[in-house]
Amino acid sequence: MSEFFDARDAEQLLPGLRKARQAIGRGELIVMPTDTVYGIAADAFSASAVAALLAAKGRGRQSPPPVLVAGLSTMRALVAEVPAPVERLVEEFWPGGLTIVLPSQPSLSWDLGDTHGTVAVRMPADRIALELLEDCGPLAVSSANLTGKAAAVDAHNAYNMLRDSVAVYLDGGPSTHGVASTIVDATGLVGAGDRAVRVLREGAVSRARLREVLGDLLEPDPEPLHDASAS
């Protein structure tokens, strides 16, 4: 049976965080607010917990979850290298709505799914999420929804989809933005890559903002679709 806590209520916040930490420690799932949309979270270093996360969403191993971290130092422990342009992105957009894909640290013992040797990392701008990340370490977190459904922007919406597959729900109120993070692939900056950063998903951070930081390292903007009716 799931437990539900109103994290806006001081009397429920502390027991809610305690129950959430305990659930993560047991390899169970939680739903928590982030600065973008609500997330379903699991211990990133528990293969069974990550598998349960994917199963709860109705997702396969071909769609590995991103990993949320408490800051740049944790990111450095998870990735093979943090190139200077990525440091600039982190300085500008973290904590916030930018997820960065890099080659993962090969010595790590974890299984997020079919990652092809990469990991997608983000530091959220949400005090509840950051407190859990400080206490629990990196968490595998995906949007709290069933695959094919819209991402949950409040805890009750998440519960209506995920039900008792999640042990603890932390309700922080409606999402402030309700827009998923932008995801960029920065693997081309590492080793003998092509030195380009590619936008995999547009979201909270615009291409224009990314270009302000990256300049020509950002892939060219896509060509606008040709409108045949204007011919």
Distance CA 48, CA 28 (A): 9
What is the band of 139 on the pLDDT scale with cuts at 50, 70, 90? Answer: very high
What is the band of 227 on the pLDDT scale with cuts at 50, 70, 90? Answer: low
What pLDDT, on the 0 to 100 scale, is given for residue 221? Answer: 85
The label of the residue with tokens 């968490």 reads: 139
Check pLDDT > 50 for residue 77. yes
Task: State percent of the chain over pLDDT 90.
Answer: 90
Which residues fall within 8 angstroms of residue 63, CB to CB, at 6 or more apart?
A: 54, 113, 147
Domains and their CATH numbers in the chain: 3-216 (3.90.870.10)
CA 103 to chain CA mean position, Å: 16
Q: Which two tokens stand for residue 59?
A: 């997702």
Report the candidate in 197, 220, 182 with the shortest Cα–Cα distance to residue 98.
182
Length of the chain: 231
Task: State percent of the chain over pLDDT 70.
Answer: 96
Which residues fall within 8 angstroms of residue 38, CB to CB, at 6 or more apart?
A: 31, 32, 143, 144, 151, 152, 153, 154, 155, 157, 158, 175
Check pLDDT > 50 for residue 231. no
Q: Other CB atoms closer than 10 Å to residue 177's CB: what's the count?
A: 16
Between the alpha carbon of residue 70 and those of residues 1, 5, 10, 152, 217, the distances in Å are: 29, 22, 23, 22, 26
What SS3 class is residue 171?
A: strand
Give pLDDT tens digits for 14-54.
999 999 999 999 999 999 999 999 999 999 999 999 999 99
C-alpha triplet 24, 25, 28: angle, nearest 5°: 45
What pLDDT, on the 0 to 100 scale, is given for residue 178? Answer: 84
Check pLDDT > 60 for residue 10. yes
Query: What predicted TM-score, i.e. pTM, was given to this entire model?
Result: 0.93
Check pLDDT > 70 for residue 97. yes
Between strands 139-143 and 118-122, the pairing is unpaired
Between strands 168-171 and 139-143, the pairing is unpaired
Report the candidate in 151, 156, 180 with the shortest Cα–Cα distance to residue 170.
156
